[in-house]
Amino acid sequence: MRQLTLTFFLTLSFVFWPIAAARALETDQFTVPDKPLPDLSMDLDLKIDLDLRVLINDANDHLAQGGHEAQKYRENDYFALALDKMYANGIPECTIERWIRYTDFGKPDARFDVGILSSVYGRALIGRPITLFTLAPTINLYGHYVGTDKVGHFFQQGYEYYETFRKSQLAGKTDQDAVHDAVLRGIAQEQGIYGMFIVDVYSNADLSANIAGFMFYRNLTQLVRLPDGTVLLPMLVLRNGRWELNAMAGDHHLKAYVCDNWDESMNPCDYAPMLRHIVQDNLRDLGARWVAFHHTTRERETQRLAEMTTWHGIHYGHSDSKELVTIVNHYYDVVDHTAFASKR
């Protein structure tokens, strides 16, 4: 009887744990707000700036004390781990996600929340997994509309990538192979516990935020050159035995990292078949408002889809599935087909 009871509760835990863990892991940018959202990039950059200063002061105190332990405070690894501890604790929303969700920025309509039934995932009685029942809000960062979950991916999974990269480096692998190992970790997560296995979604935008966060962690004290020619100056520099913010790098700490790749409508997801049909049907109704909100064209969105396959030239695990639900193939194509049919 005890064995049966234990098995029963373990089964219940397995069934219901994903429901809790999946809360707010997905988002929806196909559903757009009634008006543009205020840009929160300055607020987030200021927070990062202040927190980096705290870490700098701590590191400098230890450097001044000298001794064997002081060496670790000269390393990028120290700042990466310290920032991860500050920002990336907890699931389903980590520390920085909760900060963005609940902080009063003094700006009206700072976040756009959409209920699941009103979203691109809604309006269906069957086909949507029970684990997909609430969504992360959308915010505006540097003019890009992204889910708050992407900031979480940036810092939380970004550090996991950094951790994997460093382990591979220390094992003697080249930087290129170490980056590949990190990307494979993210792909496995999207195919499994963070994506397809739980909510029937493989998010290209999540993976893009992951690789961006990884590069951010590398860039804390190191110059980073990206494949497209972008050069990122280190945010922190060691001068005369003391760390300081690098004035040459500027104070827009996230500007080089946030881009359209983080927007799940511009960098659309791959879905399990039943959820894909729901999104396809809803997008036909949501498309007109989306196009008007972004002041875009079929040509621009076709070009943008091609741009989404890499992040600054890095292959980050973008799905090459022919089944991606895009504004081109499930709005523009539908509108064009309907117009053509009516003329006949």
pLDDT, mean over the chain: 90
Q: Residue 54: in which H helix or E strand, if any?
A: helix 41-65
Tell me the C-alpha to C-alpha distance, in Å, between residue 241 and each of 60, 64, 80, 223. Answer: 8, 8, 19, 19
**Which of these, 164, 289, 295, lies nearest to 218 by C-alpha position?**
164
> Is residue 266 over pLDDT 60?
yes
Q: Give per-residue pLDDT as tens, 177-193.
A: 999 999 999 999 999 87
Residue 301: the pLDDT is 97
> Is residue 249 over pLDDT 80?
yes
Q: How many CB atoms lie within 10 A of CB 296?
A: 14
Q: Give per-residue pLDDT as tens, 169-225.
A: 999 999 999 999 999 999 999 998 777 888 899 999 999 999 999 999 999 999 999
Q: Give per-residue pLDDT as tens, 5-27.
A: 334 333 333 343 343 343 346 99
Residue 68: the pLDDT is 86
